[in-house]
Chain A
Amino acid sequence: MTARPQDAPVLEIRGICKTFPGVRALDEVSFNVGKGEVHAIVGENGAGKSTLMKVLAGLHAPDGGKLVYNGQEQSFTSPLDARLKGILLVHQELSLSPELSVAENIYLGAWPTNRVGVLRKKKLHEDARAALQALGSDINPMTRVGELSIARQQMVEIARAQAFNANVVIFDEPTASLADTEKAQLFKTILELKERGRSILYISHKMDEIFAITDRITVLRDGKYQGTETTAETDIDKITRMMIGRDLDAYFHRAKSAPGAEVLRVEKMCSSDFSDVSLSVHAGEVLGLYGLIGAGRSEVAESLFGMRQIRSGTLYWHGEETPFPKPRQAIEMGISLVPESRKEQGLVLGMNGRENTTLPHLSAYAQAGVMVHSREMQTYREYVDLLDIRTSGPDQLVATLSGGNQQKFVLAKWLCGHPKLIILDEPTRGIDIGSKSAIHKFIAGLAEQGLAVIVISSEMPEILGVSHRVAVMSEGKIVAEFTGADQTEENLIAAVSERRNVEAPEEGSAERPPVDARAVMGGQG
């Protein structure tokens, strides 16, 4: 498994930049990938890994920089173009058409046809069979893809690499939904590709996998290149430091209040998206809910607010057992949910700031069903002043406001009902660092006024910076809870990745084994 990276770089990435509205996703990223090398790309959520892969696979065009592939500068116009030139992305979410056959999927977009455009089925099947056999797979190319297990579907994607003679194969979190034996098979296939001189880019959160199969590791942070290490000469601690590497306490504000009486407690809450979730939050306390995207955090928040059906569980509100509310009742009890997506879930963009602010509390602004304009205006003015919202007046549609001011109206809408508990789901997503700091300060202020606060975030520094206590979610369960000195990035990473490694759930099974004791560590209270 020795790499020979230096002598013949297959792919050179030189100063690649990519900017999305408001976010610099990739900032002058440069490194190279050798022939026959397995190269890991690591970084926190939002570090730019997926964007980089999409640039390499032709899904995004870079704004700046060069891709040098086999010694020639290249630009890919589409995923098919990249694939035909020899770079193939195996998606995190598989990108196969379930209704088509294995062979049709392998050659999707490049089916062999005769002169009048009729599909040459026999050639298609023979070629597909050859590609699969070269990887040691016995999948029948005529099977409908929808009938295959996730692992075998992944094999079909990898067979594309063989079929298109791809020199570079990119894997984006390939083991996320694989069982252990399937994982072993995947690693064997990857080494097989390596033996044939292919280069592999491997994105994963799981350090053990990375150290098991890669030759070198490149670290990204906030879209910037942090360095490339030879796997054999480095260790997990060093890589983790490179991934985090920033001064945390410099710009975070943690509430100075001490937690008071318990406001909300749920026990063994189960739904189709999570199971056995137990948590509590106290007045004046900020509870952080950390986890990767898809871990079930938003689902938990929406269930507490009544937006989702739960199957079982008990809810205590100020110590009293209470049925799980519907959104209307949740609002009346004093639960506010600032949802993840401002434009889709937070605001009615075609309404003005005043109408958006009062929307969850209409009956408080009405007499016998008729809206009282003066009451609405009073609240509107109060919160425009309080949150320093910049608008041209009460009639300005929120669609025409800046993102930051829109977010402030979402806060206004959920604060003007004077809640006891406020749940903020990814409150700083897509917001620049200055505004983030203001929001963190604001969150601390809420807790200091005696509100119970739950903050959901996939940004580790943020969650550690603002929370008194952090609960970690992974695959629909709370796997650990940390407080005080145990509240560290290392512990959070360990809790998320251990959980993922301990268990490799059978695909499609709703029931999952209980929390592994090893994953629950650190202080429990």
Chain B
Amino acid sequence: MDRSSAVIALVRRHGLIVAFLIFIVLVSANSPTFLTVGNFLDVIRQTSITGMIALGVTFVVITGRFDLSVGSMLTLLTVVVVDQHNAVGPGLALLFVLVGGMVLGAVNGLLIGFIGLNALIVTLAMLSFLQGLTLLYSGGANVNIADAQSWFALFGRGTVYNIPVPVLIFLASAAAASFLLRKTIFGRTVYAVGGNEVATRFSGINSRWTIFLAYVLSGLATAGAAIIMGSRVMGAQNTIGQGYELTVLAGVVLGGTSLIGGSGSIWRTVLGIIMLGFIQNGLLLLGYPYYVQWLVTWFVIIAAVWIDLGAKRGRLFA
């Protein structure tokens, strides 16, 4: 390793964290509310939806693939949970949405894992398909939960000992996902497939199943996010999940999970998502409009993939 690649490796490992800390210092100097417990809890609560999705997407990204369909999947599942709440009640609505998320993930997983189609294309096409499906389902109308007193409100609005329920759901799911990824056979195969799919198949592991299951998990996690979303809003618009796919991806890579696959972890994703939440929150507190976050998403994704590639080939420029 020569010096330039050592520098890249250092930047890759710590660069984003350092940049983040500088950002925190700058914001706190200009906004007195930024570093308060109230604001902290607010940020965590706001990130629980992207965070939930990111837990599933982390599995997909570690296999070396993408899931760009999670944004419109979030929209559809939120619309469905709200609408079905009115139609069949909260219990069945929850069941429908959880199963539905897994089925949609399974369709992606089937096309990508078993048929071998390109993940980017398949999930991008799914993004479009689900947008259409959402409008077909809702007829273009926004839906609201009629019974404002439903226990369903707990998931997005409730608190336990002053801690928001969505935060508890997110952290409990993160713990489960982390266990799955780090401690189980399945988790090991996820890393192996992303690290070297050929060698994994030469080790007698059915990489197709691994990829398939990663997408099913991505769908399941998105369903969880849809439940929180529907419960928090107690309603749903037809564009409610728009753009989430890239925000989630930005959070995952901000945590340091490589888009090349084979490395990363749940705690990194949690950290990345929370960091992204603070960046967005800080920008709002500094008086920037909310849509500036999309510019940040661009910056984060480009920086992450660039540093990743730089570390791989030992230099930053082609």
Show the binding face of A for B, using Cβ within 8 Å. Answer: 305, 307, 326-328, 330-331, 337, 339, 344-351, 355, 359-360, 362-363, 366, 369-371, 413
Q: Which of chain A's residues have a CB closer than 8 A to the CB of B184?
A: 366, 369-371
CA distance A331 to B186 in the complex (A): 18
User: Restricting to B166-213, which residues have a CB under 8 Å from any CB of A?
Assistant: 183-186, 188-189, 191-192, 195-196, 198-206
Q: Which of chain B's residues have a CB closer than 8 A to the CB of A305?
A: 202
B185, A371: Cβ atoms under 8 Å? Answer: yes
Closest to A417 in B: B204
CA distance A319 to B260 in the complex (A): 46
B202, A307: Cβ atoms under 8 Å? Answer: yes
CA distance A328 to B196 in the complex (A): 17
Q: Which of chain B's residues have a CB closer than 8 A to the CB of A331?
A: 203-204
A366, B202: Cβ atoms under 8 Å? Answer: no
Q: Which of chain B's residues have a CB closer than 8 A to the CB of A351?
A: 191-192, 195, 262
Q: Which of chain A's residues have a CB closer than 8 A to the CB of B183?
A: 370-371
Question: Does B263 touch A at the CB level, under 8 Å?
Answer: yes
Closest to A362 in B: B185
B199, A345: Cβ atoms under 8 Å? Answer: yes
A350, B262: Cβ atoms under 8 Å? Answer: yes
Task: Contacts A370-B183, A371-B183, A371-B185 given; indicate if A327 touches B201 (C-beta within 8 A).
Answer: yes
B204, A371: Cβ atoms under 8 Å? Answer: no
Q: Which of chain B's residues have a CB closer than 8 A to the CB of A363?
A: 185
Task: For B192, give its contact among A344, A345, A359 (CB under 8 Å).
Answer: A359
Task: Contacts A307-B202, A371-B183 given; indicate if A347 touches B196 (C-beta within 8 A).
Answer: yes
CA distance A428 to B185 in the complex (A): 32
Closest to A346 in B: B199
Q: Which of chain B's residues have a CB closer than 8 A to the CB of A346?
A: 199, 202
Task: For B262, give its contact among A328, A348, A369, A371 (CB under 8 Å).
Answer: A348
Q: Please name 15 pairs of A and B residues whose Cβ atoms are closer than 8 Å in the assembled complex, sorted by A.
A: A331-B204, A344-B196, A348-B199, A349-B196, A351-B191, A351-B192, A351-B195, A351-B262, A359-B199, A359-B200, A362-B188, A363-B185, A366-B184, A369-B184, A370-B184
Q: Which of chain A's residues have a CB closer than 8 A to the CB of B202?
A: 305, 307, 327, 337, 339, 345-346
CA distance A345 to B199 in the complex (A): 4
Question: Could you list 12 further interchain pairs (A-B, Cβ under 8 angstroms) beyond the known A328-B205, A345-B202, A370-B184?
Answer: A307-B202, A331-B204, A345-B199, A348-B196, A348-B262, A349-B196, A351-B192, A351-B195, A351-B262, A369-B185, A369-B186, A413-B203
- For the side of the interface on B, what is the size category? 20 to 34
Q: How far is the CB of A302 from chain B (nearest CB, A)?
A: 9
Chain B binding site: helix, strand, loop or mixed by DSSP?
Answer: helix
Q: Which of chain A's residues have a CB closer than 8 A to the CB of B263?
A: 350
Task: Contacts A369-B185, A370-B184, A413-B203 given; indicate if A344 touches B198 (C-beta within 8 A).
Answer: yes
Closest to A366 in B: B185
Q: Which of chain B's residues have a CB closer than 8 A to the CB of A330?
A: 204
Q: How far is the CB of A138 from chain B (nearest CB, A)?
A: 44
Residue among B184, B196, B205, B206 with max Cβ neighbours from chain A (10 Å): B196
CA distance A273 to B183 in the complex (A): 40
Task: Contacts A307-B201, A347-B196, A350-B263 given; indicate if A328 touches B206 (C-beta within 8 A).
Answer: yes
Q: How far is the CB of A374 from chain B (nearest CB, A)?
A: 13
Closest to B200 in A: A348
B204, A348: Cβ atoms under 8 Å? Answer: no
Task: For A360, give its contact among B196, B198, B204 (CB under 8 Å).
Answer: B204
Q: Which of chain B's residues have a CB closer than 8 A to the CB of A413?
A: 203
A348, B195: Cβ atoms under 8 Å? Answer: yes
CA distance A371 to B191 in the complex (A): 14
Closest to A302 in B: B202
Q: How far is the CB of A46 from chain B (nearest CB, A)?
A: 24
CA distance A80 to B199 in the complex (A): 38
Residue among B185, B200, B203 with max Cβ neighbours from chain A (10 Å): B203
CA distance A345 to B203 in the complex (A): 9
Q: How far is the CB of B185 from chain A (nearest CB, A)?
A: 5
Q: How far is the CB of A348 from chain B (nearest CB, A)?
A: 4
CA distance A362 to B190 in the complex (A): 13
CA distance A327 to B200 in the complex (A): 11
B188, A344: Cβ atoms under 8 Å? Answer: no
A344, B199: Cβ atoms under 8 Å? Answer: yes
Closest to A330 in B: B204
The 6 closest A-B pairs by CB, nearest first: A348-B195, A327-B204, A360-B203, A350-B195, A350-B262, A328-B204
Q: B53-70, CB under 8 A of A: which get 1 and which 0?
A: 000000000000000000
Q: Which of chain B's residues have a CB closer than 8 A to the CB of A337?
A: 202
Q: Which of chain A's residues have a CB closer than 8 A to the CB of B203?
A: 327, 331, 359-360, 413
Closest to A325 in B: B204
Q: B201-229, CB under 8 A of A: which get 1 and which 0?
A: 11111100000000000000000000000
Task: Contacts A328-B204, A337-B202, A360-B204 given; indicate if A348 touches B191 (C-beta within 8 A).
Answer: yes
Task: Contacts A350-B262, A351-B192, A371-B185 given; indicate if A345 touches B198 (C-beta within 8 A).
Answer: yes
Q: B83-99, CB under 8 A of A: which get 1 and which 0?
A: 00000000000000000
Residue among B185, B195, B198, B202 with max Cβ neighbours from chain A (10 Å): B202
Q: How far is the CB of A6 from chain B (nearest CB, A)?
A: 49
A371, B195: Cβ atoms under 8 Å? Answer: no
CA distance A332 to B201 in the complex (A): 15
CA distance A370 to B205 in the complex (A): 16
CA distance A362 to B204 in the complex (A): 10
CA distance A345 to B263 in the complex (A): 18
CA distance A190 to B98 in the complex (A): 72
Closest to A355 in B: B188
Q: Which of chain A's residues have a CB closer than 8 A to the CB of B196?
A: 344, 347-350
Q: How far is the CB of A365 from chain B (nearest CB, A)?
A: 8
Q: How far is the CB of B141 from chain A (nearest CB, A)?
A: 45
